[in-house]
A and B are shown apart, each in its own frame.
Chain A
Amino acid sequence: MTDITLDTARAPRRWLAGALLIAATAVFGCAFLLAEETWEVLGLLALAGAATLAGWKLGLGTRITESWTAHETTMNRLALAALLAVILTLSGHHFPLLMLSTMLLYFTASLGLNIQFGYAGMVNFAGAAFFGAGAYTAAVLGNVEWLPPLLTLLVGGLVSLLLSLVLVVPIVRTTGHYAAVVTIAFGVLFRTFLEVNEVLGGPQGLMVNPMSLFGWSFYDAPTVFGPDASFYVNYALLATALAALVFTLVRRLERSWLGLHMDAVRLDETAAACFGIPVRRTKITAFLAGNLILGVAGALYGMMISFIAPASFTFADSLLMVSIVLLGGMGSPWGGAVAAAIVVLLPEKLQILQEYRFLLFSVLVILTLLFRPDGLLPRRVRSFIPGWRAGQ
């Protein structure tokens, strides 16, 4: 009885912890994206590290987790609002917005990979290839007059899906390292094919026409945000919309019977089959759904950077995507967001350490995997009822 009364008294504060975290992250994000001097970047990084450590020691971590679990929908909406606020604040700056949009698209791509790695337990080391398939589709279809560019995004996803249909047989028949080699081989094949192929631009790559929505070309800066607004605002907003849409869909998928099937298949294929779960169909669904998302994200990425070449979709880029998933924590969408921010922003911001950034980055990933093997924000036990806590 006393527990319940205490609990109701604490309820509003629980809501506060998560909101404060979101606000702090938004402010920090703005500052970090705008920081130009090395000492500013390093100082902000030190600040973030100290704040995380302090929060950990003071037990804020559990408070925030609790508040997040209790008000998940509100928190997600708040995070979206905070992101929009950040975009508005940065509306005059090209480069920070480009980085933010890139981060959002990599986050979207990591959500796709998450379905494969985190839920169904399949490996995919050709993420960049499917991402690139979407981008090249956007490049080719950009010149088709009658096709609305928004539909091009979808077609990009479909092309990536068609390509993955080729891999379905070997992927479903193999497991573990053998499946890894199938996707690695595909990734290398894709890149080599693009390099030697004359039709698709060869090693020089292709120009991609910009996005346009209902006759509004994305090359024009929106005037709503004042005269100095950057045209990247368009892409940042669209990338936000895409990321939010995919995030919602992936969360729904996780909660649905499909997600349950995927979890079962990942944990034990034999047991899942014994309970009548269609193992092959589940795996194929996960593989195709993930690659569809990768293709859509890739198509928008191609339009945004407006110039693509095979060198942007190498095996190393696939690895980058896999490290986002692993760093964030397998099957943890928010973990993917944090990891995407680290993986995309850190190397860009440490331009001064340009020469050493890949070295630093690889060492960072090694250390994270050694000391936090479950990722930065490990996936928690699935909760069927939002707000429900054990022992309540």
Chain B
Amino acid sequence: MDLGLIAQYLANGIMLGTMYALVAVGFTLFFGVLDVIKFSHGDVLMLGTFTGFTVWLGLEAIGVTNPWLQLGGILLVSLGGTALIGAAIAKWVVLPLKKAPGLNILLITLMLGTAIRECVRLFYPNGSNPKAFPALLPSASVDLGSFALRADSVILVVAGLGLIAALNLVINRTRLGLAIRAVAQDEETARIMGINYTLVVLATFAIGSGVAAFAGVMNGLYYNEINFGMGLLLGLIGFSAAIIGGLGNLYGAILGGFLFAGLQVIGTALLPFASAYKDVFAFAAVIAIMAWKPTGLIPERTSDRV
């Protein structure tokens, strides 16, 4: 196999890994503060992407054609709007159910995801068909032998990794991050220490959803196509990634995201006779990892109180 092809696979893997990690981070953040799995995450991501698409349509309509300006507008509205939606879901769906069994929350959020998906399919103009997402980033490329390094991929990956790094800083270096970690560790003690619990939970959901919207816009810019069902598989993969990394741990989610992308790429590269089996291979590997490390690669610290 020549070097160019390997580089191509690697670039693809890094791109996918960044996207998956961004989704997985949301799952792990929500699990950290509330011990719940919010399965509508993937569909919230889709909603964010459609919001971005709508903004682009609007900007085109009023005559703003500078791609950077458009991109800024899309990101601003999409991330902000999705953050608000995430906080709203937390406030009216997840928080009231905090005491319910975990399975019920899982099912409710799954159904909420279905509802969001159906709403977009039914009520977005021509929502059941795929939409062509604009290619706003410069498409120049540098030829390195048989491998073409595209500028838009580089920008997307750098922006994604930058967002992950920024998120890491927020969680580990700011007062808000301290509050989030405190709530994740022990809700009651955090309350006693004067942390506004509800606000912290809402902020966490807003952050997680905003990050997911970024992953969605990234997906749209990379593949130049979005559809109402895109959130389901991305959500599933993000969830699997968060789980194999170990829930409640930011690094676990990042590790899981890149690991899943790596598995998919390996599946494509090493099964050349049947690259269609890449998802089969990746999910089989997920099951094997769960058998080997039942609480993820970076396990959360738990103790059973008897």
Stretch at the interface among B15-23, B98-106, B204-212: B98-106
Known contacts A181-B286, A358-B118; A366/B111 CB under 8 A? yes
Inter-subunit contact B294/A356 (CB<8 Å): no
Q: How many whole Å from B130's CB to the nearest CB in chain A?
A: 18
Cβ–Cβ < 8 Å partners of A38 in chain B: none
Report the bound CA distance from A322 to B101 in whole Å: 14
Q: Which of B93, B115, B290 contacts A362 (CB under 8 A)?
A: B115
Known contacts A355-B122, A358-B118; A184/B236 CB under 8 A? yes
Inter-subunit contact B239/A366 (CB<8 Å): no
B304 at the interface (CB under 8 A from A): yes
Q: How many whole Å from A107's CB to the nearest CB in chain B?
A: 19
Report the bound CA distance from A268 to B40 in whole Å: 30
Inter-subunit contact A363/B115 (CB<8 Å): yes
Inter-subunit contact A173/B294 (CB<8 Å): yes
Inter-subunit contact B111/A181 (CB<8 Å): no
Which residues between 173 and 193 of chain A lie within 8 Å of chain B, taking CB atoms? 173-178, 180-182, 184-186, 188-189, 192-193
Q: How many of chain B's residues have a CB under 8 angstroms from any CB in A? A: 45
Report the bound CA distance from A322 to B85 in whole Å: 27
Report the bound CA distance from A362 to B107 in whole Å: 10
Inter-subunit contact A177/B102 (CB<8 Å): yes
Inter-subunit contact B286/A366 (CB<8 Å): no
A246 at the interface (CB under 8 A from B): no
Report the bound CA distance from A189 to B93 in whole Å: 30
Q: How many whole Å from A7's CB to the nearest CB in chain B?
A: 37
Report the bound CA distance from A326 to B108 in whole Å: 11
Stretch at the interface among B65-73, B144-152, B275-283: B275-283
Known contacts A173-B294, A322-B107, A355-B122; A366/B280 CB under 8 A? no
Report the bound CA distance from A78 to B288 in whole Å: 48
Known contacts A189-B283, A192-B280, A362-B112; A326/B295 CB under 8 A? no
Inter-subunit contact A362/B287 (CB<8 Å): no
Inter-subunit contact A356/B283 (CB<8 Å): no
Inter-subunit contact B279/A356 (CB<8 Å): no
Q: How many whole Å from B231's CB to the nearest CB in chain A?
A: 13
Inter-subunit contact A169/B291 (CB<8 Å): yes
A323 at the interface (CB under 8 A from B): yes
**Dominant secondary structure of chain A at its interface with chain B:** helix
A49 at the interface (CB under 8 A from B): no
Cβ–Cβ < 8 Å partners of B284 in chain A: 185, 189
Q: Which of A180, A189, A322, A362 contacts B279 (CB under 8 A)?
A: A189
- Residue in A closest to B275 when the chains form the complex, CB atoms: A196
Known contacts A182-B290, A184-B240; A192/B103 CB under 8 A? no
Cβ–Cβ < 8 Å partners of B294 in chain A: 170, 173-175, 178
Cβ–Cβ < 8 Å partners of B290 in chain A: 170, 173-174, 178, 181-182, 185
A346 at the interface (CB under 8 A from B): no
Report the bound CA distance from A177 to B105 in whole Å: 12
A319 at the interface (CB under 8 A from B): yes
Inter-subunit contact B103/A326 (CB<8 Å): yes
Inter-subunit contact A177/B283 (CB<8 Å): no
Inter-subunit contact B114/A358 (CB<8 Å): yes
Cβ–Cβ < 8 Å partners of B240 in chain A: 181, 184-185
A373 at the interface (CB under 8 A from B): yes
Cβ–Cβ < 8 Å partners of A373 in chain B: 100-101, 104
Q: Counting chain B CB atoms within 10 Å of each CB, which of A180, A181, A356, A359 scores highest? A: A181
Q: Mark A222-253, 1 if CB is under 8 A from B, else 0.
A: 00000000000000000000000000000000
Report the bound CA distance from A278 to B246 in whole Å: 28
Q: Which of A186, A188, A359, A370 contacts B119 (CB under 8 A)?
A: A359
A167 at the interface (CB under 8 A from B): yes
Q: How many whole Å from A265's CB to the nearest CB in chain B?
A: 14
B274 at the interface (CB under 8 A from A): yes
Inter-subunit contact B108/A370 (CB<8 Å): yes
Inter-subunit contact B283/A369 (CB<8 Å): no
A123 at the interface (CB under 8 A from B): yes
B247 at the interface (CB under 8 A from A): yes
Q: Which of A117, A193, A359 contacts B280 (CB under 8 A)?
A: A193
Inter-subunit contact B107/A176 (CB<8 Å): no
- Residue in B closest to A117 when the chains form the complex, CB atoms: B103
Q: Mark A358-374, 1 if CB is under 8 A from B, else 0.
A: 11001101100110010
* Selected A-B contacts with CB under 8 Å, 7 pairs: A178-B296, A181-B239, A193-B277, A315-B236, A323-B107, A362-B118, A363-B115
A interface residues, Cβ below 8 angstroms from B: 117, 123, 167, 169-170, 173-178, 180-182, 184-186, 188-189, 192-193, 196, 270, 315-316, 319, 322-323, 326, 355-356, 358-359, 362-363, 365-366, 369-370, 373
Beyond contacts A170-B287, A176-B102, A369-B100: 17 other A-B pairs, Cβ-Cβ < 8 A, are: A173-B294, A174-B295, A178-B247, A181-B286, A184-B240, A185-B283, A185-B286, A185-B290, A192-B283, A315-B236, A319-B114, A355-B122, A358-B118, A359-B115, A365-B107, A369-B111, A373-B104
